[in-house]
Structure 1
Amino acid sequence: MKSPDHIMIKGYKHVSFEAELFSEQESIKKSIAFHDWLDKRRSVRDFSDRPVSKQIIDNLIMTASTAPSGAHKQPWTFCAVSNPTLKTEIRKAAEIEEKETYEHRMGERWKKDLEPLGTDMHKPFLEIAPWLIIAFKKAYTFGENGEKHNNYYVNESIGIACGMLISAIHNAGLVTLTHTPSPMNFLTKLLNRPSNERAFLLLPVGYPKNPAYVPDIKRKQLDEVAVFYE
Structure 2
Amino acid sequence: MENSESKLIDGYPYIAYHKQEIGEIEMIKKSGEFLRWMDERRTVRDFSDKPVPKQVIDHLILTASTAPSGAHKQPWTFCAVSDAVIKKQIREAAEKEEYESYNKRMPDEWLEALKPLGTDWHKPFLETAPWLIVAFKRNYEFGEDHKKINNYYVSESLGLACGFMLAAIHHAGLVTLTHTPSPMNFLSKVLQRPDNEKPFLLLPVGYPAEECFIPDIKRKALNEVAVYY
Distance 1:4 1:137 in 2: 38
SS at match of 1:145: helix
Residue 44 in structure 1 maps to residue 44 in structure 2: yes
Offset from partner CA, 1:38-74 (integer Å, 9 cap, x none): 0000000010000001000000000000000000000
Offset from partner CA, 1:12-33 (integer Å, 9 cap, x none): 1100111121101100000000
- AA in 1 matched with 2:132: L
RMSD: 0.7
Distance 1:95 1:211 in 2: 23
Residue 71 in structure 1 maps to residue 71 in structure 2: yes
- AA in 2 matched with 1:49: D
1:198 matched residue in structure 2: 198
Residue 133 in structure 1 maps to residue 133 in structure 2: yes
Distance 1:119 1:107 in 2: 15
1:210 matched residue in structure 2: 210
Number of aligned pairs? 227
Distance 1:193 1:186 in 2: 10
State the identity %.
63
Q: Give the alignment's TM-score, normalised by structure 1.
A: 0.98
2:160 matched residue in structure 1: 160
1:6 matched residue in structure 2: 6
2:96 matched residue in structure 1: 96
- AA in 2 matched with 1:168: A
- AA in 2 matched with 1:16: A
Cα distance, 1:144 vs. partner? Answer: 2.2
1:55 matched residue in structure 2: 55
Cα distance, 1:210 vs. partner? Answer: 1.0
Alignment of 1:3-42 (within 5 A): 4-42=4-42
Alignment of 1:177-192 (within 5 A): 177-192=177-192
Distance 2:116 2:128 in 1: 23
Distance 2:173 2:22 in 1: 27
Q: Give the alignment's TM-score, normalised by structure 2.
A: 0.98
Q: Which runs of 5+ in 2 are unaligned?
A: none
SS at match of 1:169: helix
2:116 matched residue in structure 1: 116
Q: Segments of 4+ in structure 1 off by > 6 A?
A: none
- AA in 2 matched with 1:190: V
- AA in 2 matched with 1:155: S
Q: Which runs of 5+ in 1 are unaligned?
A: none
Distance 1:150 1:228 in 2: 37
Distance 2:94 2:45 in 1: 15
- AA in 1 matched with 2:116: P
SS at match of 2:126: helix
Distance 1:160 1:113 in 2: 26
